[in-house]
Structure 1
């Protein structure tokens, strides 16, 4: 059975990854959003909610969804419990991802939008990886403009993410949002065209 060229899309907080994913969708490219998948799995009746509630008592809200604040508190500074949570959730996300790819087997290109792609080794499941990037000062300005965001929270999030410079080094393609989204859209168009023309190598073919 044929399958699409799988493009991983990633980038650190505030780089414009979600907006870039929307650009791919607007061009008819199917996109699997890992964050949205987790949100659904954690929601009322979600496949992960009951399992998390059993493994981490007291972390469910009255409607049966996962209370993320309580869950964060349960795993904070506890690598063993975080590993337990990931062991519960990651297989479910992978199953949703595989179902998504099967549903779009006839497409020539599909995007996996995964914030922690490199951090979790997800690039191994992709034919190429595009990293969304912007200058650090623009990133900081965007993030601190978000409701409830503080410099301390921003720093804590960055500490858990691979540095942007390393992501750019590992990337097969870059999408730069710091010069405006019209510029980013042109880069998205060029990348789609390059994939369809066979100009972007599959990772398995790299020396």
Structure 2
């Protein structure tokens, strides 16, 4: 039976770097955010989402204007909930197919920014939370996205805190020194493979 390892971390924690390291080790990695973007290009999903937003979110090419959708749901929690009710089941199905494709693997990593918020962690064998001090996270995002400190803090405020996530996580990796981070990840993966 393949073990699902959930991996998450707040914005700027460096979870993408960790995911790329895990991929380089040959483990199958499912990235929920990428899957979400993919399913939002399915014709039937486009139709449902466009209806939800009163036919006002289609681009001339027939695809969804994700930037416009994001700006709307950022200020409307109810609409966000309805959007998630369309996208999440499609992503869940997508993940089931990914699991079938990787049925011979010992472990599959499932990366999700909202692993705990969406309660997807409950279906995981174990979870790894990538953390970093707030100041480090803020500086990383400012450099990466070229945005202001206020914008970064506003995004962080919309996520569960590391403290809240830590209560639900099986393992916590503080990502400051990359060599140390990779060493910790290796130890965790080896522990999971042995058990």
The TM-score with structure 2 as length reference comes to 0.92
SS at match of 2:180: helix
More helix by share: 2
The CA RMSD over aligned residues, in Å, is: 1.6
Match of 2:100 among 102, 111, 130: 102
1:154 aligned residue? 152
Consecutive unaligned residues of structure 2, counting only runs of 5 or more, are none
2:185 aligned residue? 188
Q: Sort the Cα spacing of 1:83 and 1:173 in 2 relative to 1 into closer, same or farther, 3 A.
A: same
Q: Given that residues 40 and 87 in structure 2 are in contact (C-alpha distance below 8 angstroms), is that contact kept between their aligned partners in structure 1? A: no
1:205 aligned residue? none
1:54 aligned residue? 51
Deviation of the 1:74 alpha carbon = 3.1
1:14 aligned residue? 12
1:118 aligned residue? 116
Match of 2:73 among 66, 69, 75: 75
Counterparts of 1:65 and 1:184, CA distance in 2 = 39
Deviation of the 1:47 alpha carbon = 5.1
Counterparts of 1:95 and 1:150, CA distance in 2 = 37
Q: Given that residues 4 and 110 in structure 1 are in contact (C-alpha distance below 8 angstroms), is that contact kept between their aligned partners in structure 2? A: yes
1:197 aligned residue? 194
Q: How does 1:26-45 map to 2 (within 5 A)?
A: 26-43=24-41, 45=42
The TM-score with structure 1 as length reference comes to 0.87
| Mean CA deviation greater in 113-122 or 68-77 | 68-77
Deviation of the 1:61 alpha carbon = 1.1
Consecutive unaligned residues of structure 1, counting only runs of 5 or more, are 199-207
SS at match of 1:118: coil
The alignment of Structure 1 onto Structure 2 pairs a total of residues equal to: 194
Deviating beyond 4 angstroms after TM superposition, the runs of 4 or more aligned structure 1 residues are: none
Counterparts of 1:137 and 1:70, CA distance in 2 = 30
